[in-house]
Structure formats: C-alpha cells, structure tokens
C-alpha cells in the first residue's frame, strides 16, 4: 500500500516521513513530491491509498492533489498539513471530500505527538481529525448568522474574479436583481456599508469586499486560481 507525501519543504518532508516510519510497519512504497504537478503524476500512476498533503505547493494547491487521488479511489486516506486554517481552504475541502473518506487537517504548528496521533487516527482508525483552529473555522462557516452562505460565497468569488452583474447573472442563472440582492447580503455579512454618505465615497463596495475577504482568509490566491480555471471552462462552453 503506497503513501504519498507532497510537501515542498525538505525538512517537513523528512519530518513527515520519519513520523510515518515510526507508526507504519508496512513494506509499501513511500513517494515524495515537492510540487503539485509531480504529486498529481504520482497519484495517477501509482496505487496511492494514503497521503500527507501540504495545502500550499509552489505550483498550486494540495486540494488538487486530493481531488486526483479521490477521483481514483474515494476511500483514500488523506492528512492535509498546512501553516494556515484559512476559510478558503476549509471551504475548498468541504466541496471535494467524499462521504466515505477519512481525512485530517492539521496545522504545522502542531506538536510531534499531535502529528503522530493524527496520522494514526486517519490512516489506521478511519477517523476524521481536525485541528482546533480548523474546527473553529468550520463552526463559523456553518453559522447562518455570521458565516457566509454558499450563495454569498459564490458572489464573493464572482466579484473577486472581476465579473460584471450581467455575467454573474448568466453564470449563476439569476436575474440582475437576484445578483444585486446576493451581493447586498454579502456586504452585510462583511459589514460593508451599503451606501456611502461621504462625498466623494471612501470605498467601492466590491473592491472593499474583496479586501476584507483577503484579510480574513475567506479567499486566497490558490482558491482564486482554481476558480479562474472553472470560470474559463464555463466561458469556453458558453462562448461569452
């Protein structure tokens, strides 16, 4: 049974492999990748059943590697290992984790003991393990009053990609008023004033929303790069 370690930092790769060797007595292969492209190649050419994935790789995200692994086997066990508990990453994982998959999300600030416990739980006990900070983010997402709904988050992605109301309406199958209502709810959640009384206005609401979202970790470059790919595919199909 093969294991994949996707991590661009050599010291972290060595650390992960050492902990893995301490708890795993199987004679299976351990493959290492320092970037997204190599990790996906290994995922597609070997029978990888377990993986330790950094979420931030030089050429993309570990989320894409996980997607490739789960496309082959939905029961592949994955431990995501990251410096960040950004809502952008938590939402991205929530969209792709199969129902039957055991996975974990551990921050690199965790102790060696916590790393060992997380690997044992995910790889050998088929459990889901989330770092405390990640659970806090999940709770915020599920909070209907304070967290962004899925549709509000879609609106955030759309304006971060620079789409006009007309294109958003076509893409999301909404009326123009529906788009405006969605964005209004988004601005309310982000505590951005709906209308400026100062002259001239201090902020452009869309730009301010994107700025606040970046500051809070609601979106990041990895997520926007992936969403741009989805948008490009949609535009080609629609020939907009």
pLDDT digits (tens, 9 = 90+) for 91-138: 989 889 998 889 999 999 999 999 999 999 999 999 999 999 999 998
Does the pLDDT of residue 50 top 60, yes or no?
Answer: yes
Q: How many helices (H) and strands (E) does the chain have?
A: 11, 8
Q: Under DSSP, is residue 107 helix (H, G, I), strand (E, B) or coil? A: strand
Cα(183)–Cα(177) distance, integer angstroms: 10
pLDDT at 99: 87
Cα(53)–Cα(236) distance, integer angstroms: 31
Residue range 178-230, pLDDT digits in tens: 999 999 999 999 998 765 556 677 889 999 999 999 999 999 988 899 899 99
pLDDT at 201: 72
pLDDT at 152: 94
- Domain spanning 150-238: CATH 1.10.10: yes
- Kindly list the domain boundaries of the chain, sorted by start residue: 2-142, 150-238
Strands 103-107 and 129-130: parallel
| Number of Cβ atoms within 10 Å of the Cβ of 235 | 12
Per-position b or e across 142-178, b if 16+ CB within 10 A of its CB: eeeeebbeeebbbbbbbbbbebebebbbebeebeeee
Does the pLDDT of residue 1 top 90, yes or no?
Answer: no
pLDDT at 238: 82
Handedness of CA 119, 120, 122, 123 (dihedral sign): positive
**At residue 104, what are phi and psi to the nearest 5 degrees?**
-140, 160
Strands 77-82 and 60-61: unpaired
What is the per-residue DSSP string for 29-78? -EEEESSHHHHHHHHHHS-EEEEEEESEETTEEHHHHHHHHHHH-TT-EE
Cα(143)–Cα(137) distance, integer angstroms: 10
Higher pLDDT: 239 or 202? It is 202
Is 150-238 in the same CATH topology as 2-142? no
Which range of 30-44, 140-154, 217-231 scores highest in mean pLDDT? It is: 30-44
Handedness of CA 221, 99, 117, 123 (dihedral sign): negative
pLDDT at 132: 93
pLDDT at 194: 63
- Tracing tokens 């994955």 back to the chain, one arrives at 78
Which range of 11-15, 198-202, 236-240 scores highest in mean pLDDT? It is: 11-15
> Average of pLDDT values for 154-177?
96
- Tracing tokens 């958003």 back to the chain, one arrives at 168
Tokens of 75: 């029961």
Does the pLDDT of residue 240 top 60, yes or no?
Answer: no
Does the pLDDT of residue 144 top 80, yes or no?
Answer: no
Q: Which superfamily does 2-142 belong to?
A: Response regulator (3.40.50.2300)
Residue range 56-87, pLDDT digits in tens: 999 989 999 999 999 999 999 999 999 999 89
pLDDT at 198: 63
């Amino acid at each position: 049974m093969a294991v994949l370690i996707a991590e661009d930092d050599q010291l972290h790769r060595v650390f992960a492999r050492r902990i893995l060797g301490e708890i795993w007595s199987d004679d299976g292969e351990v493959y290492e990748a320092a970037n997204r492209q190599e990790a996906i190649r290994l995922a597609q050419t070997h029978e990888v059943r377990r993986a330790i994935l950094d979420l931030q790789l030089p050429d993309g995200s570990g989320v894409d590697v996980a997607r490739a692994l789960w496309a082959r086997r939905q029961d592949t066990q994955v431990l995501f290992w990251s410096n960040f508990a950004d809502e952008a990453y938590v939402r991205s994982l929530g969209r792709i984790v199969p129902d039957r998959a055991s996975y974990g999300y551990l921050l690199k600030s965790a102790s060696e003991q916590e790393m060992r416990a997380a690997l044992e739980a995910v790889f050998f006990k088929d459990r889901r393990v989330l770092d405390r900070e990640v659970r806090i983010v999940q709770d915020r997402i599920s909070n209907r009053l304070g967290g962004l709904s899925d549709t509000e988050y879609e609106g955030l992605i759309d304006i971060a990609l620079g789409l006009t109301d007309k294109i958003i309406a076509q893409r999301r199958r909404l009326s123009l008023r529906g788009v405006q209502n969605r964005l209004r709810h988004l601005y309310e959640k982000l505590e951005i004033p709906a209308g400026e009384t100062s002259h001239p206005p201090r902020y452009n609401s869309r730009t301010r929303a994107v700025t606040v979202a970046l500051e809070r970790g609601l979106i990041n470059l990895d997520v926007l790069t992936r969403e741009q790919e989805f948008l490009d595919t949609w535009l080609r199909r629609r020939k907009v």
